[in-house]
Amino acid sequence: MPEYSITHCIVEDGPAISKNNMSAFWEDPNWVFIWKDTTLENIIRLSADRYPRILLQNRDTIRHIKAVDPETGALLGYSRWKLPDKYSKHEDGSPVWQGGQVPDVSSEQRDEIEKKAAGAQEQWHPREFTGEDDLDAILTKTEEAILAKKDYMKLEYITVHPSNQKKGVGLALVKHGLEQARSLGLDVFLLACSSGFRMYEKAGFKELDRIVQDATRIGGTSHYEVRFMVYEVASS
């Protein structure tokens, strides 16, 4: 029996996705730094209340995929993908990559989800940086310039809980999305952090550009490196 299966997410996955994602992010010292006044447990709790709303946002273009243990159903990893608007629906109006779209819920469920998310958002206070201290500003500018040149499917991120890393879960999630990209004839773009460089290269991504910043000036670790990478379906 396979070690995991790949399938779509549902709103009830919110707590499991939150534990998976926040635990993975907590491995990055620079990410921890922006939350130095709280704990991982508190971030997981707040994120669990926020994530069902995130799963329902922009359903036309966003696809949420999870890797699960086929025996226990436990979530092992998660990925989020974004389709260009004009590639998100078939001519008949049905969704492209429908298997990755989170099923909708009733208006009553949405109201309850929104209420919980709003309450959590009021307590969601990471450190904010502006001007020269905003390390992400230059990344956003470079990304926007790349995405303006052509249509890409975007891999927004992949996270695998630390206890499930180095088992092929992340690579399986990447390959699942790349199959969809090939069927659409779309190249895939992503911003890669250092923890994912080798995995993305193994999957066939090529580097377009990179930015290395000194995070010590805002209290983080010395190197904050991000690579802009593309998977070209024509060469796969």
Averaged over 9-16, what is the pLDDT? 97
CA distances from 192 to 26, 68, 101, 156, 183 (A): 16, 23, 24, 9, 23
**180: domain range?**
5-121+130-235
Contact 186, 74 (CB under 8 A): no
Residues 6 or more apart whose CB falls under 8 angstroms from that of 104 comprise 56, 59
The CATH number linked to 41 is 3.40.630.30
Q: 118: pLDDT confidence band, cut at 50, 70 and 90?
A: very high
Task: State how far the Cα of 94 lies from the Cα of 97, in Å rounded to an integer.
Answer: 9
Q: 2: pLDDT confidence band, cut at 50, 70 and 90?
A: low
pLDDT in tens, 82-109: 999 999 999 999 999 999 999 999 999 9
pTM for the predicted model, two decimal places: 0.93
pLDDT in tens, 47-87: 999 999 999 999 999 999 999 999 899 999 999 999 999 99
Q: Which has the minimum average pLDDT: 131-140, 184-193, 213-222? A: 213-222
Neighbours of 138 (CB within 10 A): 13
**What secondary structure letter does DSSP report for 165?**
T
Q: 133: pLDDT confidence band, cut at 50, 70 and 90?
A: low
Domain total of the chain: 1
φ, ψ of residue 206 in degrees (nearest 5): -120, 145
Task: State how far the Cα of 100 lies from the Cα of 114, in Å rounded to an integer.
Answer: 22
Q: 1: pLDDT confidence band, cut at 50, 70 and 90?
A: very low
